[in-house]
């Protein structure tokens, strides 16, 4: 399959965002719990609001706070992205084998959301 290189075209629209990797912790040799702070990795990509057409096509499943991320970096569905002080969870990965740009659906992280 032919591969298209869109990276140079969309790179001028890239803005900084942060990949937040969960810290956690572990017990040391004395059995004392030691917290490990979350790792923050600075990356660049284009974070766009969802279009009205996409929201209508999916039956209103998306909200105004959901975003699309276009980036050269790769992410998984457990990653947390922070952009302009708001944290988002990667909800969907779009298979794009024909392009060098990766597309991800981001959902805003809400503290009291049902699981």
Per-residue pLDDT 10s for the chain (115 aa) are 555 566 666 777 888 999 998 777 788 888 888 888 888 999 999 998 887 666 665 566 767 788 899 888 888 888 899 999 999 999 887 776 777 788 898 988 877 655 5
CA angle 87, 93, 98 (to 5 degrees): 135
pLDDT score at 78: 85
pLDDT score at 51: 72
Contact status, residue 109 vs residue 89, Cβ threshold 8 Å: yes
pLDDT score at 113: 57
What is the distance between the alpha carbons of residues 37 and 39, in angstroms, rounded to a whole number?
6
Both tokens of 18, joined, read: 């942060």
| CATH number for domain 7-23+36-108, candidates 2.40.10.270, 3.40.50.300, 3.40.50.1820, 1.10.3720.10 | 2.40.10.270
pLDDT score at 16: 92
pLDDT score at 42: 93
pLDDT score at 19: 92
Where are the domains positioned within the chain?
7-23+36-108
pLDDT score at 102: 85
């Amino acid at each position: 399959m032919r591969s298209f290189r869109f990276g140079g075209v969309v790179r001028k629209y890239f803005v900084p965002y942060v990949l937040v990797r969960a810290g956690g912790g572990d017990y040391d040799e004395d059995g004392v719990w030691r917290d490990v702070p979350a790792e923050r990795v600075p990356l660049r990509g284009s974070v766009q609001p969802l279009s009205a057409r996409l929201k209508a096509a999916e039956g209103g499943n998306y909200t105004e706070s959901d975003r699309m991320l276009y980036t050269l970096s790769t992410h998984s569905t457990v990653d947390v992205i922070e952009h302009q002080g708001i944290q988002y969870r990667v909800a969907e990965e779009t298979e794009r084998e024909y392009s060098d740009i990766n597309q991800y659906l981001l959902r805003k992280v809400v503290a009291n959301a049902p699981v």
